[in-house]
Structure 1
Amino acid sequence: MTTLRSMNLNNSPEESMEELREALVGELRKLNAVRSEAVAAALRRVPRHLFVPEGVTPEQAYAAERAEVTKRDEHGVAVSSVSAARVQAMMLEQADIRPGMRVLEIGSGGYNAALIAEMVGPEGEVTTIDIDPDVTDRARRLLDRAGYERVHVVCTDGEAGEAKHAPYDRIIVTVGAWDIPPAWTGQLADGGRIVVPLRVRGLTRSVSFQAQGEVLVSTGYELCGFVPMQGSGEMRVQVAVLHDEKGAEVGLRLDDEQEAEVEQLREALKRPRAQAWSGVTIGGSVPFDDLDLWLATEVTDYALLAATPAARDRGLVASASPLGTSTLLYGDSFAYRAGRPVPGKEDLYEFGAYGHGPNAEKAAQRLVEKIQAWDREHRDDRPTFYAHPADTPIAQLPHGLVVIKKHRRITISWPAHNN
């Protein structure tokens, strides 16, 4: 991460903050998170340092990739935060907010609502909601302090939206969501847009959905991570523990009613691992999150293998990831995506798979075949997300992976190619 330059000690405090905000905009432009003047102007005007917790320095407050936790639960797990400026700017660009619009933010913190208020201007209207009264009280206090008294702050369950100020031209969800409830689309103006960090098969993407009648169709998506939604819309990922000893933890993250032969897979992890390599390479700094999205749509029995660094260091698994690595379940065996440096090629890595269990070799080879198919057919593609009403017949849905949720049938559809 590029470090922002220190404040000029000869400047007044306000001039120093303006300098930091300008530096933040420049950094976010380099990261391609800021692409429009509307988002840049909002970032220049809103005093982010007023919304972060006490003890956070101005330089930290205006760091592009730094999120600040504002509340934790009794177990120390973050339940509310000021998201990283890069993520906030990215989602504002996805939303395409214009002057005069009505906007609902689901998941409050104050700062993002202030940015939206700058973008909609005096003729627009902003409502921000959260289920936690501590969060809304804090947001109200800080918004008032920063001069954004006209933002509506409401304590309510986000699943129900906020009907009082509807309809909304834009709805921006700033908590991780498993589904898209009817209240959100019901409170959306005709032709409106919803930007939501949607979780499908354990993977979260910030998807910008445009309403087309009762159907939502994506206009784009970005990799992101958020604290999960609370209340009636809460749906946590299930974790099947495969190993838990002295900090060396390994588990499978299962989502969307996925199942696994947990006892057999615990035994599989104890067996020596097999490996298979794909010949598919990628530069070390090149993102490959679309590969994981492809694997999630193409692997029928898909999961995410999460492991601690201690588990990796002890040789239980080859990689450590708290969020999880794409994994193919194969009955009593499994295989997960891996990578290795290419000899003689600086900063170039080859994708492969490590397998465990009686059918480790078959599982690893099958995962490698999926990686090769992505490279051959879809490496330069991006899929479209569709969200149809839950009662839509399967035959009427687009081609692709269909995930049936409570309120919606989500389809991830990759472009079809004639081979």
Structure 2
Amino acid sequence: MANAAVADSAQADALRHALVEELVTAGSIASLEVAAAFRTVPRHLFAPEVPLQEAYANDIVRTKRDEHGVTISSVSAPWLQAVMLEQAQIGPGMRCLEIGSGGYNAALMAELVGPDGEVTTVDIDADVTDRARRFLDTAGYGHVNVVLADAEHGVPQHAPFDRIIVTVGVFDVPPAWWTQLAEGGRIVVPLRVRGLSRSLALVRDGDHLVSVGHEMAGFVAVQGVGARAERLVTLHGEEVGLRFDDDQPVEAEGLREALRLPRVQAWSGVTFGGMEPFDGLFLWLATSLDRFCLLSRARTDAARGLVDPASPIATPTLLSRDGFAYVAFREVDPQTQTYEFGVYAHGVDAEGLAATLIEQIRLWDHEHRRGAAAKFTIYPASVPVARVPGVRVVPKRHTTVTISWP
């Protein structure tokens, strides 16, 4: 029995160090401090329901599902946790808040703040906080504060915080997070803007927050007061749908009829390598298009026969009253795995929609693809925000978000 335990411990150590090497090679870990935290915290103790190999895989571990089988709590993928910790730039002695518990990420934060710092983790689900408390204690992090509460209101009894890291997907940044942020503090939050989620590193600048960096990120949605579901308009049963993150009017029947019309295609001449990310293009289209939504389809051959978007989960789509056009791609060189961006469009105005979307793809390629990232600015809703050409203004519940490009 003792020999088996020693063998398991040795295997866990080896797997943990291999995971760190993978994260460093991929660029997810950039600092010695974050690398040391990942080498130290035993991730398998926070995911006891899966084998060691899965606990140290660079993937999420699902820990709770709702009655429909949808994941509502998980141990996040290590690469994303590493990226967000790098964004946060946590240092020794800091007071930190994690919104969305699981235990493992709070333990990593505890390693970064050291014995003179303090980490608080909060979640609305008692099952989640009970689990986090139990695993933190087992792993030797009993000093981490675990709070059961709706994080919409922050955790005032442990504020102010030098760093706030949000590990659930949110639609807005509530006022409590602003007021509980210490002077010179930083918030890292996966914010949903026009349906797209980006992990924003935000610092205060007068009466607003500004991004100092952002990364593509996806999390289970926040629960409680801050929850806000997207609106789904189905076009062909459950196989094809349009997702809306705002209240723009939609003529659903006209769009369903458009899907029945022959598909128009157009190609941009803009190419990319098979492993090259193109989330910058998606964000540019969300910024530049007024009538914007996301197309999704089921992962079936029947659904693909109807629409073939760049991403089956969420592809930028341009709307008209009775037509739509969306981003696609095709392989142009199998040997080099090179692909070309294009557009598929449906409706009586399909050709015009396709031309508009192609123009925006080319504009992104020419002016923004290799330039500086977009800048997010977040204002309290009470602060008037002027509408300036070239700046997308997105009103939310508590705030107004602007996106601008250099």
Using the size of structure 1 for normalisation, the TM-score is 0.93
| Map of 1:22 onto structure 2 | 17
| Map of 1:239 onto structure 2 | 232
Contact 2:327 2:341 in 1 (8 A): yes
Cα distance in structure 2, aligned partners of 1:135 and 1:123: 26
| Map of 2:265 onto structure 1 | 275
Cα distance in structure 1, aligned partners of 2:395 and 2:303: 38
| Map of 1:4 onto structure 2 | none
| Map of 1:211 onto structure 2 | 204
| Map of 1:323 onto structure 2 | 313
| Map of 1:67 onto structure 2 | 60
Contact 2:91 2:113 in 1 (8 A): yes
| Map of 2:184 onto structure 1 | 191
Contact 2:232 2:243 in 1 (8 A): yes
CA gap 1:296/1:92 in 2 versus in 1, 3 angstroms: same
1:137 and 2:103 aligned: no
Alpha-carbon shift at residue 283 of structure 1 (Å): 1.0
Cα distance in structure 2, aligned partners of 1:75 and 1:321: 23
CA gap 1:410/1:38 in 2 versus in 1, 3 angstroms: same
CA gap 1:304/1:173 in 2 versus in 1, 3 angstroms: same
Q: Report the count of equivalent residues.
A: 402
| Map of 1:177 onto structure 2 | 170
Alpha-carbon shift at residue 313 of structure 1 (Å): 5.5
Deviates more, 1:340-349 or 1:326-335: 340-349
Cα distance in structure 2, aligned partners of 1:286 and 1:158: 36
Q: What RMSD in Å do the two structures reach over aligned CA positions?
A: 1.7
| Map of 1:6 onto structure 2 | none
Describe the SS at the equivalent of 2:314: strand
Cα distance in structure 1, aligned partners of 2:389 and 2:82: 31
Percent of pairs with identical residues = 57
1:377 and 2:367 aligned: yes
| Map of 1:36 onto structure 2 | 31
Cα distance in structure 1, aligned partners of 2:302 and 2:266: 19
1:255-270 mapped onto 2 (5 Å cutoff): 255-270=245-260
1:51-62 mapped onto 2 (5 Å cutoff): 51-54=46-49, 56-62=50-56
| Map of 1:285 onto structure 2 | 275
> After the TM superposition, which parts of structure 1 deviate over 6 Å for at least 4 consecutive aligned residues?
none
1:413 and 2:374 aligned: no
Cα distance in structure 1, aligned partners of 2:158 and 2:6: 42
Alpha-carbon displacement from aligned partner over 1:17-44 (angstroms, at most 9, x marks no partner): 2211111110001111000011011111
Alpha-carbon shift at residue 396 of structure 1 (Å): 8.1
CA gap 1:106/1:10 in 2 versus in 1, 3 angstroms: closer
Deviates more, 1:100-109 or 1:313-322: 313-322
Describe the SS at the equivalent of 1:394: coil
Give unmatched runs, 5+ long, in structure 1: 1-8
Contact 2:288 2:390 in 1 (8 A): no
Alpha-carbon shift at residue 408 of structure 1 (Å): 1.0
Cα distance in structure 2, aligned partners of 1:203 and 1:267: 27
Cα distance in structure 1, aligned partners of 2:234 and 2:325: 16
| Map of 1:5 onto structure 2 | none
Alpha-carbon displacement from aligned partner over 1:149-186 (angstroms, at most 9, x marks no partner): 10000000011110000000000000001000000010
Cα distance in structure 1, aligned partners of 2:310 and 2:328: 11
Alpha-carbon shift at residue 261 of structure 1 (Å): 1.6
Deviates more, 1:168-177 or 1:252-261: 252-261
One-letter amino acid of the counterpart of residue 61, structure 1: A
Alpha-carbon displacement from aligned partner over 1:375-412 (angstroms, at most 9, x marks no partner): 11111121111111112222287951110111111111
Cα distance in structure 2, aligned partners of 1:251 and 1:173: 29
Contact 2:273 2:338 in 1 (8 A): yes
One-letter amino acid of the counterpart of residue 57, structure 1: P
1:392 and 2:375 aligned: no
Cα distance in structure 2, aligned partners of 1:96 and 1:398: 34
Alpha-carbon displacement from aligned partner over 1:95-122 (angstroms, at most 9, x marks no partner): 0000000000000000000000010001
Contact 1:191 1:212 in 2 (8 A): no
Alpha-carbon displacement from aligned partner over 1:334-356 (angstroms, at most 9, x marks no partner): 00001111257631111110000
1:146 and 2:139 aligned: yes
Describe the SS at the equivalent of 1:93: helix
Alpha-carbon displacement from aligned partner over 1:75-105 (angstroms, at most 9, x marks no partner): 1111110000111011000000000000000
One-letter amino acid of the counterpart of residue 31, structure 2: S
1:114-125 mapped onto 2 (5 Å cutoff): 114-125=107-118
Alpha-carbon shift at residue 57 of structure 1 (Å): 1.2
